[in-house]
Amino acid sequence: MSSSAYLWIKALHIVFVTSWFAGLFYLPRIFVNLAMVPGAGAERDRLLLMAGKLYRFMGPLMLLALVFGLWLWLGYGVGLGPGSGWMHVKLALVVVLLVYHHVCGRMLRTFVAGTNRRSHVWFRFFNELPVLVLLTVVILVVVKPF
């Protein structure tokens, strides 16, 4: 394929990864607020509506990020061959993000069911994981340390 096609695939991968991360950053912030809302009411209902819509929107973004990432990896050989140890770590971190995404879905279901037992402080710490993963992945992709 042409280098122009490669650049389009790379650009689309970056756009969908960025969009997916926006959801991974914001959904747990909604959980922080939900954990602070006492009982039923309009505020809780509004936050649950926002969280549900965001989670449903994040799914296609995640899938598109994965599709374009796999296309770059397997179709163009990005991260294959000698000196590509960074890609193995990146792929492990992608698995961590996939698990995190699905854990967020389970947590949303606990809020919907009214069975959440975690505090807003716990969710504040939980919210930091995608930040650390993003920092690490960007360093791996740009610096390629090994």
pLDDT per residue as tens digits for the range 128-137: 999 999 999 9
Residue 1 has pLDDT above 70, yes or no: no
Q: Is 133 helix (H, G, I), strand (E, B) or coil?
A: helix
What are the pLDDT digits (tens) for 17-46? 999 999 999 999 999 999 999 888 999 999
What are the pLDDT digits (tens) for 74-117? 999 999 999 999 999 999 999 999 999 999 999 999 999 999 99
Nearest to 55 by CA among 108, 124, 122: 108
| pLDDT number for residue 38 | 83
Confidence class for position 2, pLDDT limits 50, 70, 90: confident
Greatest CA separation found in the chain? Answer: 57
Angle, helices 85-113 vs 129-143, to 10°: value is 160
Please report where in the chains the tokens 């954990």 appear, as a residue.
Answer: 35
Number of domains in the chain: 1
| pLDDT number for residue 39 | 85
Q: Is 146 helix (H, G, I), strand (E, B) or coil?
A: coil
| pLDDT number for residue 21 | 98
Rg (CA), the chain: 18
CA distance linking residue 120 with residue 142, whole number of Å: 34
Range of the domain at 30: 3-143
How many residues are there in the chain?
146
